[in-house]
Amino acid sequence: MRISLFIPCFVDQLAPQVGLATVKVLKKLGHDVEFRAEQTCCGQPSYNSGQWEVAREGAIRALKIFRGAEVVVGPSGSCVAMIKKFYPDLLKDTPHAAEAKELAQRTFEFSEFIVRQLGVTDIGATLNKKVTYHDGCHAMRELRLKEEPRQLLRAVRGLELIETEESESCCGFGGLFSVKFPMISTAMVQVKGGALARTGADYVVSSDPSCLLQIGGWLTREGKPIRPMHIAEVLAEGLPANV
């Protein structure tokens, strides 16, 4: 299968290792991977800020960019939810409505794609660490992904998966919410981060790099030893370098 990568803007600029790990895992599974370089940002910040006119322009650009792609796969529950759930809503009653629905059907979050579309749970990764999983809200509540990432993690050799008491609590990121209402956002990550730190895990893993930015940013500021790691990075651990 030829997979078109959907790399969120901040992964591109601030966490490229997540994109590289995504490529590595998808290639290990025997698929061709392409990256259409016209892509930048899905427009979610504007959508969430109520600037739907602006967001609509971004959605229409994305339709054009991913036109003809067999499948589109992105390592972010939130940004994929933007394409899968919110583009069709944003573009309903416009000439782009049908294409938005059609793109939604062939766009997948990374763990969703591997488990539901490819039917694979064991990539062959090895990581001798204790990890806990953070459910990003968009992945869990917009895309209804809960077991898929855990199935992938359980198959990793040497990895011990432990649950967190607040695994379903929002980390408080919420895009621009995190900087428009920083006091509430911080209170939320205190609850989340505190629970994560108490697990004694080495890593907090998530399918959402934006949550990890928030959680990781707080954990390092507070000097907590647990580190953030994207699920693609976990699944790329121990794979041969030249896949």
Partner 1 sequence: MSNAKDIFLKEATTAAADGPQRIFINKALGGYYANRDIQKARFRDWERARDAASLAKWEAVNDLANTLEAFVAKFESNGGKVHWARNAAEAREIILQLIAAANAKAVVKSKCMTTEEIHLNDALEKAGYSVVESDLGEFIQQLRGEAPYHFVFPCMHVKREEISALFTKHLGTAATNSPEELTMIARRHLRQLYVDADVGITGANFLVAETGQISITENEGNARLTAALPRIHIALSGIEKVVKKLDDLSVLLPMLATAGAGQPMTCYNTLYSGPRKPGECDGPEEFHLVLLDNARTQLLADPEQRDALHCIRCGACLNVCPIFKNIGGLAYGTTYQGPIGSVITPHLRGLKQWNHLSGASSLCGACTDACPVRIDLHHHLLHNRRNANQTSPTWFDRLFHRGFNFVISRPRLFAFGGRVFRFTLPVLKKIPLPYLSAWLKTRDLPPAPAQSFRQQWKDSSHG
DSSP 101: H
121/169 with CB nearer partner 1: 169
The span from the CA of 26 to the CA of 17, in Å, is 14
Beta-bridge partners for 134: 206
Nearer to partner 1 among residue 159 and residue 170 (C-beta): 170
CB 138 within 8 A of CB 77: yes
Query: Mask: binding to partner 1, 104-133, rule CB under 8 A, as x and -?
Result: ------------------------------
88 near partner 1, rule: CB under 8 A:
no
Cβ distance to partner 1 smaller for residue 132 or 178: 178
Residue window 150-179: x/- pattern of binding to partner 1, with contact defined by CB under 8 A: ------------------xxx-xxx-xxxx
Interior/surface letters 143-172, b for 16+ CB within 10 angstroms, e for the rest? bebeebbbebbeebeebeeeebebbebbbb
What does the alpha-carbon distance between residue 20 and residue 40 come to, in Å, rounded to a whole number? 16
Out of 47, 66, 87, 110, which residue is the one contacting partner 1 (CB under 8 A)?
A: 47
Query: Is 58 one of the binding residues for partner 1 (CB under 8 A)?
Result: yes
The whole-angstrom separation of Cα 229 and Cα 125 is 14
Is residue 97 a contact point for partner 1 (CB under 8 A)?
A: no
For position 209 contacting partner 1 by CB under 8 A, the verdict is no
The CB-of-113 to partner 1 minimum distance in angstroms stands at 18
